[in-house]
Structure formats: C-alpha cells, structure tokens
Amino acid sequence: MPLQNATTSARDAEGKNGVQSLEIGMTILRAISTGHRAMMLKDIAAAADMPASKVHRYIVSLVRSGLVEQDPMTSRYDLGPFALSLGLVAVDRLDRVQLGLLAIADLRDDINQTTALAVWSDNGPVIIRSLRPYRPITVNVVTGTALQLLTSASGRVFAAGLPSNITDALIGRERATLSLSQELQTQSGIDAMLDQVRRDGVSIVSDYHLVPGVAAAAAPVFNFKHELTLSVLAIGVKGMIDLAPEGKVITALKRCAAGLSERLGHVSGGSFKAHSQP
C-alpha cells in the first residue's frame, strides 16, 4: 500500500508540475518566433537565456518534429512547416466576433459605459454587437446600425486604417450629401483628420450628428494579416462620459483593442503604424 500511495503521489505531482522539458522547448520556440527572422544558434540561446549547448539539444528534436527547420546554406534556424500548420489551424479556428464580444464585455465592466463592435461592410462600418452598462441613463446602440465614415468614431477608424481605394467612393458620397463641419469640407481637411486618428490610435467624436448629445470613441483591431478587422467602441451621454485622451475610458479602450488584436495574431497590438493609407 505505501508503494501504491507513493506512485499515486508521484503521478499527481507530475500532473500538477507539467513536463519541464516541454516547457523548455516552448521557450526556445518562443525565442525563435519573436526573432522576426531566421536566427543563429547563439542568438536563440541569448534570447532564451540558455547555454547554446542546451539549446542545440532541444533544437535537434524540434527539427525532427518539423517545428523548427535549418537553412543548410546559412545554418540559421527558423520555424518549420509543422509550426506553420499549427498557426494556420489556430487562426482558422478563431472567431473574431466571439472574442470581440468577450473583450467588450470586459471593457463595459471596466468603464461602465455602452460598448460595441463594428465591422466593415460593402456599405461602410456596421455595428454587430453592443452591451449596455449598469447605469440608469445610457445610450442604446442597435445591432445593424450603419455608421458614416466622416462623422462617426468607428467610421473614422476604418477610414484611417483601410486602403483609400476601398473608402474613397463612400467618402465622396458623404462629402456630396452630408452637412459636414467646415474642416471636413475639403480633402486636405479630411486627410488631416485621418492623420490625427492614426497618430492618436483612437477616434473621438462628440455630438454625433445622427444622435445629438452622444459622445463616442473607437479604436482599431487588427488581425494576423495586419488588416483592420474590427473597431471597438465606447459610447455614452455627452457630459457623462470622460473621453479625455489620457483618461480612464480612452486608456481602457486602447488596451482592449490592443489585447484583442494580439489575440487575433497581430504581433504589435492595435496600432495604425504601417497601416496608413497609400
């Protein structure tokens, strides 16, 4: 009986502690994946904070498994075909809307304001999910609401992050049909506004003309292809939502969008860097 108890305890400990060699292998894989290019053994060892001899032993097995491959010409190591296959399968199984809904639920709980998700459609941005806060006076956002590019917070995010050949026609239509503020009546004014959104990483709109008295902010969400795939919104009654650039709402909104971008495989978080229009 004591032997059986000892065996059971050892199994329990193994289950709780995991497999150390696997964790070491994952550390090496992580070092290679964050290197942004094929790496020499000494560079991998430095990134993983391990002796090169130890890293080499693990890399031999990682190469055999297809998780790592070595270029025979340069002797550099990079992620292998099986690692690529795993990544593609993981991305294929991601549900951006479900992940987005979880993200805006956490954001709503954090800031206690209406939160929403918007996606791009053939007719511009559309609200696909929204959550109401825990307060008696709030803004209700209807799923399926179409948003304009130049006057809504989410619209400006998409106009700033999508290629101009996708947005130009809609922007031209809005310039011809909407009563725009003076600064948006020229192309140079529109360009300046979109450049500001890219620099700030967020769009803030107060007194949205479709619903006077409403203020909103939107931040971009990028996917693993570095494409703008969603926008996250915080919406409230003007005067009851603090949209100061360094305030709690904007800080939480940016953090939410960056975290969701990372979850969707975008390595540098939610940012307009390298995403500005050509």
* Range in 26-30, 81-85, 112-116, 171-175 with the lowest mean pLDDT: 81-85
Region 67-74 average pLDDT: 92
Distance in angstroms (rounded) separating the CA atoms of residues 25 and 76: 17
pLDDT category of residue 97 using cuts at 50, 70 and 90 = confident
Arithmetic mean of pLDDT over the chain: 86
pLDDT category of residue 275 using cuts at 50, 70 and 90 = very low
Structural contact between residues 206 and 250, judged by C-beta atoms closer than 8 angstroms = no
Give the angle subtended at the CA of 206 by the CAs of 190 and 217, to the nearest 5°: 80
Strand ranges, E, within the chain: 68-70, 77-79, 114-121, 124-131, 203-206, 214-222, 228-237
233 SS3 class? strand
